[in-house]
């Protein structure tokens, strides 16, 4: 069970926020995402915010609950939120298997490609996060 909760308060004029949260869940696992952007009436004017949550259900029996929220009181903002969840693409798995990759390796590579998009803005931590993701995939 992994539970990830965020609360971003836009307390100044012209705030810009980009939040991308990704997760991968195995059989018997549960992923929970609760995210909230709060934009107050006066201080939050001209806020530009985007919250995205994406989950990969790697096996039957994996469960994801997501609740992205926007609480907006300002009237001159651009705010969006979204949530997607699904399984690995069968066509992509087939393509990789036809080129000689074992199923476990193909699934691990597709999962790695999915999660590492979220590491792009991590700066110095990007390599550490990639290594952790690779270790988890090797053990899964």
Along the 140 residues of the chain, how does pLDDT read in single tens digits?
Answer: 999 999 999 999 999 999 999 999 999 999 999 999 999 999 999 999 999 999 999 999 999 999 999 999 999 999 999 999 999 999 999 999 999 999 989 999 999 889 888 888 888 898 898 888 888 888 77
At 13, list the tokens: 């004029």
Q: Using an 8 Å Cβ cutoff, are 31 and 17 in contact?
A: no
Q: pTM of this prediction? A: 0.85
CB-CB neighbours of 109 under 10 Å:
15
């Amino acid at each position: 069970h992994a539970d990830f909760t965020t609360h971003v308060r836009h307390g100044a004029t012209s705030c810009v926020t980009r939040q991308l949260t990704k997760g991968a869940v195995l059989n018997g696992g549960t992923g929970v995402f609760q995210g909230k952007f709060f934009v107050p009436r006066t201080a939050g004017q001209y806020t530009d915010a985007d919250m995205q949550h994406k989950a990969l259900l790697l096996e039957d029996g994996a469960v994801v609950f997501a609740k992205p929220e926007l609480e907006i009181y300002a009237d001159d903002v651009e705010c969006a939120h979204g949530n997607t969840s699904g399984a690995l693409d069968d066509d992509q798995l087939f393509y990789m298997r036809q080129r000689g990759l074992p199923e476990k390796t193909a699934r691990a590579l597709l999962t790695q490609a999915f999660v590492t998009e979220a590491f792009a803005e991590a700066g110095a931590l990007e390599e550490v996060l990639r290594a952790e993701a690779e270790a988890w995939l090797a053990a899964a």
